[in-house]
Structure 1
Amino acid sequence: MPRQEKNATARTLYRLVDVQNLRSVIRERYVGEAFTMYDIAVGGREALLVLGAMVTEHAKWARDIEELTGQPAVVGNMTAAGALIIRRSDRGAWAVTFGMGFQLIDQALVDSSFGQRIAIRLGDPTKISSITRSAIDAGARVSRVTVPTGDGLSRFGFESFGEMVTRLVVRGRVPGLTHDGDVTVRGADALNIPLGRTAADLVADLDCIEALLATEPPEGMQVLEQLVPVRKPATRVSALDHLLAEALTAEDRDHQLALSWPFEHIGDNAPPTHFKLLSSGTGRGGASLREGLPDLDDLLAPLGRTSAPLDRLKQMRIQLFGSAEDDDPVSSAIPARKWLAFETPFDGKRYCLFDGQWFQMEDQYADQLVALTEEIFRKKFETVLPAWTAEFDEEDDYNKHLAAELGGICLDRKFVHTTAHKRGFEACDVLLRDGTLVHVKKTPKSAPASHLFAQALVSTESLAMHPQAVRQLRELVQEQGGDPTWVKDRPERVVIAMARKNPITAAGLFTFSRVTLVRAVHGIASRGIDVYVAPIALER
C-alpha cells in the first residue's frame, strides 16, 4: 500500500517586522544574477519567491588539502537556497525558508524570540526536551540542558530570576493547525514547526500562529517569558537607544539612569583603586590615571558636549587599575556602554539596559523582584554598624574601624588562593569572632551594588564547597593576628553592608541589581547560611 502523503511538513518560519516592501527583506548581496525574484500571490496574499544558489568556486578547506598533499584541489560548492516571503500586515511579513534560505533574510527585520514565544504557548510544560538559557549574573553563562524523554522545568534547574531562555524544544499541539496532533517544536528567533503543504493551508496556519501570539502562556510556562533580550527589530532598538541618548544629555537627570558595574569583565582580579577614561584614537598613555572608581558624572561629562552622545559613547572605554601605577591594569578597556544601567517604558512595556544589551521585562516580573528584595531587607542584622564619617577616606580605613568596633579582624584586600581561584578572592572585608563574614561597600546613588552581591556569593560558595579555601583563610587570619578558630568549617552567617547617605531600599535598586541580590541571597541561604543586608550611615 503506497505511503499516504502528509498534509503538513516541518518548515523554518520567521516573523518579520518593519517591512516596507517584500523585496527589502532580501539582503543586498543576494540581489543579482544568482537569484531570481518572483512577485506572486499565495492564498490570496501578496508574496515574493526568491530562488537561487550560493556558489563557491574554491572551497575554504581546499587550500588545506593542497598544503597537506601537494595535490591541486579545485573543488567548490553550490548550495541551493529559497525563501517565500508572504505579507502579514501593512508593515509585517512571514518568511518561510528552504535549504540555506535563512541566509537571504535581513536579520535586522526578524522579530526577536518569536519562535521561542510560540513554543512557550503551544508546548506541554511536562514535555520540554531542551532549554538553552543565559544567566545575567557574575558571568556570561550560556548552557543547554537536554532531557530526551521530556520533562518539566524543575528537571532543568531553571531559576525564576536572572535567567532567560534563548531556545526551547518542546512537544505540544495547537488546535487549528493543519497538522492535527502532537508535534515537536523548536523555537528561538525562528520557529521550526509543521506547516500546511498547500497555499490555503499554509496561510491558514500562519493566521493560527499569529492568533496564538496574542494569548497568554499556559500555566507553568510563564516564567520562561519574564525576561527577553531585545536584539531586533532594528527600529525598536533604535527607539530605545534614542531614549537612552536623551537621558544621557538631560539636564534634569532621570533617576532610572545609573552607573553599573560590569564585574563579569573583571573576574577574580585584585580590587581596582584607579581608572582611566579612554577614547578611540588614544592609547592607555593618552589618558590620565584617576584615583578611585568612576562614577556616572565621569561618564556623562564628555557626552554633554556632543549632539551625538551614542556615537561618542561608542568611542569611550573605561579601564581599571589595581594601583597608581600605569602598568597595573586589573581589567581590559571595557566599553563605556557596558557601564550604564538604564530603565524606561516604551510602547506599553518596560525595558532595561544591562551590560550594553536591551531587555524587555514583564511588569509582573519586576513587581515580584521588588517584593523579594523587600523581604530580604526586612531581615535585620542585630548589630548596628558604625557610621562611615568623613575621617575615613578609603574603604580600608572604614573596615579597620569596623573591625576594631566589633572585635573582629580586617581582611580587606587580603586574598584567599585556591586551585579554583588561582588569582584569589576576598573572603570578606571584616571577619567577626563568631565567624560572621561581613562584606562592605560604599554604594553612592549612581552605582548599583551588583558587584558587592556577586562578591558575597562567590566568597560564600567557595568557603562552603572547598576545604582548601577554609584552610587558606585560617592561615590568612593567623597571619593578620587573628584567631584561626574564628573561621568555621563552613560559613554560618554573611552580612552584606552598604554605606549610603540615604538608606538603600528595594525600590532604590536597579532591576538587575535586584536580580543579582535575589540570586546571591537565595544561593547563600540554600546552603543553610543566614544572610543579612545591613545599612551603614554615610555621613559627609
Structure 2
Amino acid sequence: MAKTTATVSTRTISLRLLRKDRTVADAVRDSRGLTEHPTRTGRLFYEQSNDMPPPWLELVNQFSADGSLQLRNKSCAAVLFLDVVSVAGARTFALAFGGGHLALHADAFERNFGLKVALNSIARADLKNLDVATLEATSFQKRVQASRKSDLGDFGIDTEHDLLRLAGGVPTDTNFASSLSGKDALMLTAKMSADEISTKCAAALTLFEATDYKKDYSFIDQIAPVREADLIDALDALVFAEIQHLLVGKPSDLHLTIPEIIDPEATHEIGYFGPGFRPGAKTGYGELTIEDYVAELSAGKPNELKSMADIKPSQEIRVVIDGQGSKQRRERLYDCFVFEAVHLGRTYVLFAGDWYCIEDKFFASVEADFQKLLAPVALVASTAALNEQELIAELDKDPDLLNLDKVKSSPAGAPGANLEPCDFLSRSKAFIHLKDGHGSAPISHLWNQGVVAAESFVRDETFRKSMRNAAIVRQKAAGKKGFELLLPDGRSKPVAANYKVIYGVMRHRYQRSKKLGLPFFSKVSLRAAAGRIELMGFPVEVHLIEKV
C-alpha cells in the first residue's frame, strides 16, 4: 500500500469524542450506506452517493422551453475514527468530512465536548460567535456573531437565563488552533499535516477535562448536564408519563422545539416518523408543536409505546416532501422535547436531548426573588375561563377596573409601534397585564409587555396622551367614570412609585405537587424583567390565577 506524503496546510477539521461506554459500531447508523476502507491507522468509512436530480428540477423544467434540463446532484462523505492517548487517558475520536456527521448517532458522543474545549481555550475577550437558547414554552434560539474578537459582555446574553450552546473565537494558544468553535463537535482550524491530527485530538481531550472555563464562564455550571444513566432513566419516565397524560387530554408542560438554529431561507414541512405513528403518506406541518405530535400519535398506535425506550432511539421528525420523509434531513424526536421536572427535591430541564440539573444556590436565589414578587392574594383566586380573552370578559364586570385590552398607543417617533399599555387599569393605579400561562405564547412575552409599557409611560409624553385618550373613550363605552384622572395629562411627568405593575398569570396546578406555580425559566426571565421595572420606580407584583 502506497504511503501518501504528509503535507502541511491550513485545515478545518470536525472532531467528536466517543463516549467511554460506546464503540465504533454503536456510533455509525445502520441505515447509511457506508463502506469501510483499509487505513494505516484508525478506521475509515466512506460513502459515495449516486447522482440524482435535485428536488426542484421538475418545477424549473416547467419553465424551460422544452423541459429537457438534466441537472444532477452528487455527494460524498467520510468518517475517520482515531484512538488517541493523552494525559487524560485513551479515547476514540471521530472526524467527519462532508456529510459524514449524518452517519453518526449523536447520543454515542460526548455532549458539549466542543463547547467545553472552546470555553477552556478562548478568553472572554477573544470571542467571535455564540449560540444561546432560552428554555421556555416557546424556546428562542439565537446566534450572535462579532466582526472581530469581542468580550463576552458585548454579546448581550443573559448569563442567568440563556443556555450557552456554542462558542467560537480565537484560542489563547494559537499553536493549538488559529480559531475554534464548539458545541457537541469541535471545529478546529490550524496549520497541520495528517500525522499531527492525533496530537490535536490529544490536546483537545486534555482541554475537555480542564476547568479553566470557571474563571470567565462559571455561569454555565448553574445549569449542569446530567450524565448518570439511572437518573436519566428516571427522568425519562417522567416525560413518558406526561405523554400519556396528553393522550388522554390532561394538561402538561411538555413541549417540542427543534434544537438547532434553522436556516431562515430554507422552506420545509415537518412530519412524524417511527413507532406509534400511523404508516403511509405523512402530513407535513409548518412548525413543530406538542399538539400535532399528540394528534399524530392518537391517529396511530400509541399503545405500542411501553416506555421512553420505544421513543428515544426510533421516533424522528423529518422534512416531508410529497408525503415522504427525507432521511437526509431528520432529527431524533427525543432531542426536540423540552420539559421541566422536579425529582427527589431537585429541578431538572430536558433540552436538545440532554437533561440539565439546576444548581441549588441558583434555584434558591431565583425562587426567593419570585416569592418576593408573588402577591398573597390574587386579583382572582380561580377562574373557569378557558383563555385570556374569557378572563378579560370576566374582569370587565368589575367597576374598579377599566378594560384597555387591545388599545394601541404609540410613542413619539414610532407611529406604527402600536404598544398595548395594559389589559386593565385599576382605580388603585395598577397597570394589569394578563396571560394564559398554558397558551401558545411564552410567558416571557407578558414580562416584556410590562417592561415596554412601563418604559413608554415614564419616558414618552405622546404615549401617555394616547393612553389617557383611550381611557376616556373606553370608560364612556363601559359606563364607568374617573379613570382618566388617574393618568397624567401628557405634559405632566408621572411619578412611577404612585403606580404599580401587576402580572396576572392563569395556570393549572402542577399534576404532581398540586401547587400553583410557574416554570423555573419563566421565573428567571421574570426576575430580569421585574428588576428593570423596579429600577424605574414601579412596584411589581405577580398574581397566580388558578384555572379550574
Shorter-chain TM band: 0.5 to 0.7
Q: Give SS of 2:175's match.
A: coil
Q: Identify which of 423, 430, 442 aligns with 1:436.
A: 430
The aligned counterpart of 1:211 is: 206
Q: Distance in 1 between matches of 2:467 and 2:337?
A: 32
1:243-262 deviations in Å (ceiling 9; x for gaps): 43367789xxxxxx984397
Q: Distance in 2 between matches of 1:74 and 1:391?
A: 62
Q: Identify which of 372, 378, 385 aligns with 1:378.
A: 372
Give the TM-score of the pair, scaled to structure 2: 0.62
- The residue type equivalent to 1:168 in the other structure is A
Q: Give SS of 2:120's match.
A: helix
105 and 395 in structure 1: CA distance in 2 versus 1, 3 angstrom threshold: closer
The alpha-carbon deviation at position 496 of structure 1 amounts to 3.1
91 and 479 in structure 1: CA distance in 2 versus 1, 3 angstrom threshold: farther
- The residue type equivalent to 2:239 in the other structure is L
Q: Distance in 1 between matches of 2:346 and 2:195?
A: 35
The alpha-carbon deviation at position 242 of structure 1 amounts to 2.9
1:515 correspondence with 2:506: no
Q: Distance in 2 between matches of 1:134 and 1:424?
A: 28
1:151 correspondence with 2:175: no
Maintained 8 Å contact 1:244/1:342: no
The aligned counterpart of 1:291 is: none
100 and 514 in structure 1: CA distance in 2 versus 1, 3 angstrom threshold: same
Q: Give SS of 1:416's match.
A: coil
198 and 222 in structure 1: CA distance in 2 versus 1, 3 angstrom threshold: same
523 and 228 in structure 1: CA distance in 2 versus 1, 3 angstrom threshold: farther
Q: Identify which of 21, 24, 27 aligns with 1:22.
A: 24
The aligned counterpart of 2:114 is: 115
The alpha-carbon deviation at position 124 of structure 1 amounts to 1.1
Maintained 8 Å contact 1:426/1:459: no
Maintained 8 Å contact 2:503/2:542: yes
390 and 187 in structure 1: CA distance in 2 versus 1, 3 angstrom threshold: closer
Q: Distance in 1 between matches of 2:383 and 2:164?
A: 46
The aligned counterpart of 1:455 is: 446
20 and 455 in structure 1: CA distance in 2 versus 1, 3 angstrom threshold: closer
1:309-334 deviations in Å (ceiling 9; x for gaps): 7689x99xxxxxxxxxxxxxxxxxxx
Maintained 8 Å contact 1:118/1:209: yes
Q: Distance in 2 between matches of 1:145 and 1:122?
A: 19
477 and 306 in structure 1: CA distance in 2 versus 1, 3 angstrom threshold: farther
Alignment of 1:98-497 (within 5 A): 98-137=97-136, 140-174=139-173, 180=175, 183-194=178-189, 197=192, 201-216=196-211, 217-224=213-220, 226-227=222-223, 240-245=235-240, 259-260=252-253, 308=306, 341-344=339-342, 351-353=348-350, 360-361=355-356, 363-364=358-359, 367-375=361-369, 377-378=371-372, 388=381, 395=391, 399=395, 407-409=400-402, 414-417=405-408, 427-433=421-427, 435-439=429-433, 454-462=445-453, 464-465=455-456, 473-481=467-475, 482=481, 483-487=483-487, 492=496, 493-496=500-503
Q: Which moved more, 1:129-138 or 1:239-248?
A: 239-248
Identify unmatched segments of 5+ residues in structure 2: 1-5, 258-275, 279-290, 292-301, 316-332, 476-480
The alpha-carbon deviation at position 103 of structure 1 amounts to 3.4
58 and 233 in structure 1: CA distance in 2 versus 1, 3 angstrom threshold: farther
Q: Distance in 2 between matches of 1:380 and 1:259?
A: 23
The alpha-carbon deviation at position 380 of structure 1 amounts to 8.6
480 and 58 in structure 1: CA distance in 2 versus 1, 3 angstrom threshold: closer
474 and 60 in structure 1: CA distance in 2 versus 1, 3 angstrom threshold: same
- The residue type equivalent to 2:24 in the other structure is L
Q: Give SS of 1:147's match.
A: strand
Q: Distance in 2 between matches of 1:501 and 1:56?
A: 54
Q: Distance in 2 between matches of 1:309 and 1:473?
A: 54
1:350-394 deviations in Å (ceiling 9; x for gaps): 63147xx66544544x5224314413543698x977784899998
- The residue type equivalent to 2:503 in the other structure is I
Task: Give the number of aligned pairs.
Answer: 453
The alpha-carbon deviation at position 100 of structure 1 amounts to 3.6
Q: Distance in 2 between matches of 1:486 and 1:115?
A: 56
Q: Distance in 2 between matches of 1:31 and 1:307?
A: 29
Q: Distance in 1 between matches of 2:539 and 2:37?
A: 64
- The residue type equivalent to 1:409 in the other structure is L
- The residue type equivalent to 1:56 in the other structure is D
The alpha-carbon deviation at position 515 of structure 1 amounts to 2.0
The aligned counterpart of 2:51 is: 56
The alpha-carbon deviation at position 149 of structure 1 amounts to 1.9
Q: Distance in 2 between matches of 1:248 and 1:100?
A: 33
Q: Give SS of 2:180's match.
A: strand
Maintained 8 Å contact 1:111/1:233: no
Q: Which moved more, 1:96-105 or 1:82-91?
A: 82-91
80 and 451 in structure 1: CA distance in 2 versus 1, 3 angstrom threshold: closer
Maintained 8 Å contact 1:369/1:514: no
- Identical residues among aligned pairs (%): 15
Q: Distance in 2 between matches of 1:386 and 1:258?
A: 23
Give the TM-score of the pair, scaled to structure 1: 0.63
- The residue type equivalent to 1:533 in the other structure is E
Q: Distance in 2 between matches of 1:22 and 1:524?
A: 54
The alpha-carbon deviation at position 127 of structure 1 amounts to 0.8
Q: Distance in 2 between matches of 1:125 and 1:418?
A: 41
Q: Distance in 2 between matches of 1:537 and 1:531?
A: 20
The aligned counterpart of 1:530 is: 538
The alpha-carbon deviation at position 84 of structure 1 amounts to 0.5
165 and 370 in structure 1: CA distance in 2 versus 1, 3 angstrom threshold: same
- The residue type equivalent to 1:25 in the other structure is A
1:484-514 deviations in Å (ceiling 9; x for gaps): 3434569833123579999x9x996542232
The alpha-carbon deviation at position 141 of structure 1 amounts to 3.2
